[in-house]
Amino acid sequence: MGGFRPCHTACRVGVLIVAEGCVWDAAAECMPRDDLRRLQGERLRNVVRYAYDQVPAYRAKLDGAGVAPDAIKSLEDLSKLPFTTKDDLRENYPFGMFAVPLEQVVRLHASSGTTGKQTVVGYTRGDLDLWAEVIARTLSAGGVQARDIVQNSYGYGLFTGGLGLHYGAEKIGASVIPTSGGQTKRQIQIMQDFGTTALCCTPSYALVIAEAARELGADVRHLPLRVGFFGAEPWSERMRVDIESQMGVDALDIYGLSEVIGPGVSYECLEKAGLHVCEDHFYPEVVDPETGRPVAPGECGELVFTTLTKQALPLLRYRTRDLTTLDESPCPCGRTLRRMDHVTGRSDDMLIIRGVNVFPSQIEAVLLGIEGTSPHYLLVVDREYGRLDELEVWVEMSPETFSDEVKRLEALEQKVRAEIESVLGLTVRVKLVEPKSIPRSEGKAKRVMDGRDLGR
């Protein structure tokens, strides 16, 4: 433990080696708390002024709340600012929240929104550098260096997982294998033949790989694989123990959301005791989801982020809907960045299924558009422990639709399935059920039965 030893030449102050991990940017990640707060306060002032000047929606929001940008002088003033929500992004779809003209935007990603409209995020070249930087921190915290071979099995595409991890790994100088998701046998073949040392994927997919490898007569524990970065869905300590024992790796949690930047917002070090938030760039608060007031230190609430340095899409007090706690105690790894707990739930009804965000309202919109179904439905999510999530959509047919010919019912089922799959980008099972068989409830309907076994 401890001691300084250079493991990456671009580092400004040499690199702190902690256990087998190393710190990518010790100046930032291990900055004394007082210095960090000063830096955050200064950046906060800048970003509030920047958002006010560059984004008409923010100007209107702040004017509406009666908050002049100059009123935000330090971190203590942060709670004067109104929140930003997914609705703000939706209302300004697609590019209305951008603070720069499109000429300066070099990348766009999107994730599902609540009512069919996607959430679009944009990146300037500087934003992409920042993203690669925070992923470099993430991977370094698990000991990844230039000589490592990183197999990136997060999906490449509109989803931020694939490309996000990719450029951070390249920034470290590691050899990246962009396998993307799926084709498990091929993943295992590559892992064996190329000598993968670090794996990036969802934790449930890691268990799927481990099991598939055993079925193929291969044992991942005997391969060079050493560390895994598992995120994009909630998981548990029991899953960590299982992944570590079945794969012979250190299993680390990583967190992020595309609105803030993507993966890399926070990451675990090898202490495995919470995720260090890159708070020099993304300032975290935890608030009571009902009242919006900050909770007492260490209490659970909704995570809120203010981006301090992002250029294309600055966000002030963005409500993530993720529930967690923030730990201010020092970490033995030497990093001073505060740690958040694994996300334990959501304050809205969003589901994360195989890494894909699913809002029940999206299903409703699809059903409203299909003749012969009623907008009464139930989402049944299941995960046999150690398997991938399964989403079953129970759809009530209307009495008129019922045909005594099975092929007609199957055609309806097929149609509903195809529409839902094209909206969600996710394979689902559709099950037709009798009219009026899905329980109606007064007030908020119960649309989701989540029976997933996360091993908690």
Partner 1 sequence: MRVSQISVFLENKSGRLAEVTRTLADRGINIRALCVAETIDYGVLRLIVSDPEAARRALSDGGFTVTETQVLVLEIPDRPGGLATAIERLAEKGINIEYIYAFVTKSGENANVVFRLEQMEEAARILAGEGFRILAGDEVYRL
Which residues sit at the interface with partner 1, rule CB under 8 A?
A: 397, 399, 402-406, 409-410, 431-437
User: What is the widest separation between alpha-carbon atoms in the chain?
Assistant: 76
Task: Copy the structure tokens of residue 129.
Answer: 């550098």
Minimum distance, C-beta of residue 403 to partner 1, in the bound complex (Å)? 7
Torsion of CA 92, 95, 99, 102, to 10 degrees: -160
Q: Is the peptide bond before 94 cis (omega within 30 degrees of 0)?
A: yes
Closest to partner 1 by CB, 182 or 399: 399
Residue 128 sits at the vertex; the CA angle it makes with 81 and 140, to the nearest 5 degrees, is 100
Nearest to 40 by CA among 379, 398, 284: 284
Minimum distance, C-beta of residue 420 to partner 1, in the bound complex (Å)? 16
Closest to partner 1 by CB, 11 or 380: 380
Q: Which residues contact 359 (CB under 8 A, 6 or more apart)?
A: 112, 113, 114, 115, 349, 350, 351
Dist CA 410 CA 92 (whole Å): 39
Minimum distance, C-beta of residue 379 to partner 1, in the bound complex (Å)? 16
Closest to partner 1 by CB, 271 or 392: 392
Minimum distance, C-beta of residue 451 to partner 1, in the bound complex (Å)? 17
Closest to partner 1 by CB, 440 or 444: 440
Dist CA 7 CA 143 (whole Å): 10
Closest to partner 1 by CB, 422 or 437: 437
Closest to partner 1 by CB, 327 or 396: 396
Minimum distance, C-beta of residue 208 to partner 1, in the bound complex (Å)? 23
Dist CA 161 CA 180 (whole Å): 9
Please identify which residue in the block is written with the tokens 């005594």. Answer: 404
Angle between helix 56-65 and 33-54 (nearest 10):
110
Q: Which residues contact 445 (CB under 8 A, 6 or more apart)?
A: none
Q: Which residues contact 113 (CB under 8 A, 6 or more apart)?
A: 86, 89, 90, 119, 359
Closest to partner 1 by CB, 410 or 450: 410
Minimum distance, C-beta of residue 435 to partner 1, in the bound complex (Å)? 6
Minimum distance, C-beta of residue 363 to partner 1, in the bound complex (Å)? 17
Closest to partner 1 by CB, 223 or 432: 432
Minimum distance, C-beta of residue 389 to partner 1, in the bound complex (Å)? 19
Q: Which residues contact 112 (CB under 8 A, 6 or more apart)?
A: 118, 119, 356, 357, 358, 359, 362, 424, 425
